[in-house]
Amino acid sequence: MDTEIDSLAALEEAIGHRFADRALFEQALTHSSAVAPSRRTAKSYQRLEFLGDRVLGLVVAEALIRRFPKANEGDLSRSLNAVVRKESCAAVARELQLGEYLHLGDSEARSGGADKDAILGDVCEGLIGAIYLDAGIEPARRFVEKRFEQWLSIGLAQRGDAKTTLQEWAQSRGLEPPAYVEVSRSGPDHAPEFTIEIALEGFAPVRALGRSKKIAEHEAAEQFLVREKVWKKTS
């Protein structure tokens, strides 16, 4: 037990929040498969995930309003969707190595649950919900703005979904949809970095890096649109 407490203390240090209610912290790391069916609602992270998803959306929406003062409602909605997504939550969970701290049932653990995007994304939201219940909105805001800064920056710069815009642009010119090719993957499993290349007939390829394939694809699409002057370069 002391070893587990020390381990959680190290995770708290990485998170940047010391829990007053340690039971909340442990609940945020407990998958439903590790709990008896009659206790799953009370003891797993499911309810915390529900709350954390809303807290994440609120904090990101507030950040967009503050940092993007000239955006209209449609721009804000597209930017929000670019930030608050399962891929970004899973990437944050991997950076924090939350998979190593997860309580999983035997079957889920054997099937690699600690490395599944769906579970990692959920546990990240559960953690945000736990921070909020433990100490309120300010610690939750600090966590989100620090850990989701990369996606906030991407979301703020986007004038829509870059991949969708590029596909529509290509189709309007009678071209096949662009292909996204994984060129390389580097870094440790908990914090990988992907290089993605866009191939589009008649155009020089574009490469971009990202902490997930999705992020790298969107970054490459945005760079392509800027290069071809479909979008203006943002400051």
Q: Could you say which of 3.30.160.20, 3.30.450.40, 3.40.640.10, 3.40.50.2020 is the CATH number of the domain covering 162-227? A: 3.30.160.20
125 catalytic residue (yes or no): yes
Whole-prediction pTM: 0.69
What's the pLDDT tens digit per position in 173-183? 889 999 999 99
What's the pLDDT tens digit per position in 22-47? 999 999 999 999 888 888 788 899 99
Residue 6 has what pLDDT? 67
Judge whether 2-155 and 162-227 match in fold.
no
Residue 52 has what pLDDT? 97
Classify 136 as helix, strand or coil.
coil
Helix (H) or strand (E) holding 172: helix 162-172
Q: How far is CA 187 from CA 62, 147, 184, 220, in A?
A: 32, 18, 10, 19
Mean pLDDT of 186-200: 88
Architecture of domain 2-155 in CATH? Orthogonal Bundle (1.10)
Helices (H), 68-147: 73-83, 86-95, 106-110, 117-135, 137-147
Mean pLDDT of 54-73: 89
Q: Output the CA torsion sign for 128, 134, 137, 143.
A: negative
Helix (H) or strand (E) holding 39: none
Q: In the chain, what are the domain boundaries?
A: 2-155, 162-227
pLDDT over 90, % of the chain: 48
Mean pLDDT of 127-153: 93
Task: Check 87, 108, 125, 217 and give the catalytic one.
Answer: 125
Q: Rounded to a whole number, what is the largest CA-CA distance in the chain? A: 64
Residue 226 has what pLDDT? 87
